[in-house]
Structure 1
Amino acid sequence: MTTATLNHIAGALAGMVLGDALGVPGELWPREKVRARFGHIDRFIDGPEDNIVACYFKAGHYTDDSAQAFVILKALLKAGTVPEAKVLADDLLDWVRSMNGFEINLLGPSSKASLLAWSKGEDPKPVTKLSLTNGAAMRIAPVGCLIDFSEHDLLARTVAGVSSVTHSTDVAISGAAMVAQAVASGIAGRTWDEISADMKAIHPIAMRLGEPTWAANILSRLEVFERVMLPKRNEVDDEAASRFIYDVIGTGTMTSESVTAAICIALWCRDPWRAAVLAANMGGDTDTIGSMAAAICGAKTGLDAFPAERIAELERINSLDFRGLAQEILDGRSRFSY
């Protein structure tokens, strides 16, 4: 593996954390409320006290999205494969308990219900087979860093294995697989058109690995954006794209909305900072959408394309070393199998 590959893996990780942290203050608030309170978000801001989801996080800190991603990454690197679901559940439960996460409003509804079942020794499948929210996709970027973009079947199976702890539906697995695929393709230097094609290739493979649901089809929703908005990319501004995504695609916590929104932002912005800012100001599940979108963009551009002062700030606040983490992933890629 080359220095360039390390740079792009580091970019994916940095994008994940950047979009997560920048999107904190307006998380799960309507678009108008975000703008009325903060104006234009282009800096790290404390989660406001009256935001019952974001109030636990200070400026620049990542949330449960990146925290769970790092738990999963550590488990995958340690095992060299996807551990049994109970091992992943125990690792996630250790983190939840360290954050008092069952008592505060930290977890999404599907993750909370399934992890509570694991903690009680109960079967989580009655929860996971109905999980339509984005908990699987929000923590999946590191999986895209571990597997070559061309290995669609392996990538889809790995995503399904990792996700099964809390999410085992067709929409949750396919949405997470599309995010992981976009990251893997970006790291490999694929063009944006190729990244889109790669996501469309993995979607049906991953859909077959999940419990069938009635959820809206991510691929169909994405194609609406590609047909209506992408041709206007050099004609209209980010605000127009943001408005379309918010009104038509949706920015809620359902995988069919938030994952599609994140992919649309990535294809539109093609730059991690721009993607993170657009998501942070959009309204809805801003931190999760921003985390996924900026991870995809960061995988494509590499860490060198980020504002250096923002990366330094994120690393200092969160005690992170993106290049060091990328090197650990590079070292583990050749040993990983599933």
Structure 2
Amino acid sequence: MQNCTRSKIAGAIAGMVLGDALGVPGELWPREKVRERFGWIDTFLDGPEDNIVACYFKAAHYTDDSAQAFVVLKALLEYKAVPPVKELAKRLIDWVISMNGFEINLLGPSSKASLLAHSEGRDPSQYLKTALTNGAAMRIAPVGCLIDADKPELLAKTVADISKVTHGTDVAIAGAAMVAQAVASGVAGRSWDEAADDVLAIFDIAKTYGEPTWAASVKRRFELALDAACNIHDPEEYSRWIYEVLGTGTMTSESVSAALAVAWFCRDAKKAAIMCANMGGDTDTMGAMAVAICGAMNGIESIPADWLKTLEETNNLNFLELADQIIETRPAFNKD
């Protein structure tokens, strides 16, 4: 059982990095432009010079999505608890500064505004209360590796406590909690149907932790995606449906809904990574979330070995060692 858990946790982390890195080239480009430029993305590519968001990243390098996830994960492992907001903010700001992130197109608008306020000693609450973007969800997959799937109240609160450094709305927290729950359910060995029920259930719990907004319900959109998948069996047709109906932009209500839809349709890390990379829109963020879920459900062995090797060497990572660190820390987060 321990080896299975190790594989699933490693799969979640590796999946996050895979989806993030493969999705770099066409990030925030329209679907048609991605297809015209690349034809079909099924390997790691440099970010194009004329993509003002992706141009900073070389082939197989992860982006700010995984970078922030690793900043948060390191803090959680060191504290064996959720650190104070000021500590999380400091760590994220240190990373931003190391990347010159306040000057270049590295951060999403909500994260940039909130972290800039933290760095200048200003109250970030005005930004937290209006943050509808996916910054909280894109970095949350490791939290699903730390907390048991059958503790949704604890998971929702933990997600909220981590998210409020930059995002404090109902949709941002609930969307992030759905991603974390999907990963947790995968680590726990739940079936896809059981995991879907878990993900839908945590939405109502988690949204109570955030500032009420008018954003579309990620829960309802995920239900719509599950229904659509019963009638659409061609991957390209379903991808087009996601792009046109759910949307693939940076809003939580779009990209989290899209990522969940991709994960449940593909149910495979490689297929999900390729679908997201060619989708158009926030390709790397959708990939980071969707492929983390698939990796958690199926284990690290389900990800092509050559891709794993490339990702580990390029980013100086060891997915199994990270899984061991997480397993060692899990008891601290799951105390009764």
Equivalent residues of 1:145, 1:184 under 8 A apart: yes
Amino acid at match of 1:190: R
Counterparts of 1:244-283 in structure 2 under 5 Å? 244-283=241-280
Q: Distance in 1 between matches of 2:16 and 2:30?
A: 22
2:257 corresponds to 1:288: no
Amino acid at match of 2:71: V
2:105 corresponds to 1:105: yes
Equivalent residues of 1:145, 1:187 under 8 A apart: yes
Q: Distance in 2 between matches of 1:21 and 1:36?
A: 20
Equivalent residues of 1:89, 1:115 under 8 A apart: yes
Amino acid at match of 1:307: P
2:149 corresponds to 1:152: no
Q: Distance in 1 between matches of 2:57 and 2:230?
A: 38
Equivalent residues of 1:80, 1:337 under 8 A apart: no
Which of 321, 324, 327 in structure 2 is aligned with 1:327? 324
Corresponding residue for residue 76 of structure 1: 76
Corresponding residue for residue 12 of structure 1: 12
Corresponding residue for residue 196 of structure 1: 196
Q: Distance in 1 between matches of 2:20 and 2:206?
A: 25
Corresponding residue for residue 307 of structure 1: 304
Report the Cα offset of residue 239 of structure 1: 0.1
Runs of 4+ with >6 A deviation: none
Q: Distance in 2 between matches of 1:23 and 1:232?
A: 27
Q: Distance in 1 between matches of 2:134 and 2:156?
A: 16
Equivalent residues of 2:148, 2:334 under 8 A apart: no
Corresponding residue for residue 114 of structure 1: 114
TM-score (norm 2): 0.99
Report the Cα offset of residue 232 of structure 1: 2.9
Q: Distance in 2 between matches of 1:31 and 1:291?
A: 18
Report the Cα offset of residue 335 of structure 1: 1.8
Q: Distance in 2 between matches of 1:299 and 1:223?
A: 21
Could you report, residue by residue, the CA deviation over 1:138-159 in whole angstroms, capped at 9, with x for unpaired residues? Answer: 0000000000000000000000
TM-score (norm 1): 0.98
Counterparts of 1:81-92 in structure 2 under 5 Å? 81-92=81-92
Could you report, residue by residue, the CA deviation over 1:98-131 in whole angstroms, capped at 9, with x for unpaired residues? Answer: 1011011100000000000000001111101100
Residue identity (%): 65
Q: Distance in 1 between matches of 2:293 and 2:132?
A: 22
Q: How many residues align?
A: 335
Q: Distance in 1 between matches of 2:268 and 2:231?
A: 17
Report the Cα offset of residue 300 of structure 1: 0.3
Equivalent residues of 1:131, 1:168 under 8 A apart: yes
Corresponding residue for residue 39 of structure 1: 39
Could you report, residue by residue, the CA deviation over 1:7-61 in whole angstroms, capped at 9, with x for unpaired residues? Answer: 0000000000000000000000000000000000000000000000000000000
Q: Distance in 1 between matches of 2:206 and 2:122?
A: 26
Amino acid at match of 2:275: L
Amino acid at match of 2:231: K
Counterparts of 1:44-55 in structure 2 under 5 Å? 44-55=44-55
Corresponding residue for residue 230 of structure 2: 231
2:164 corresponds to 1:164: yes
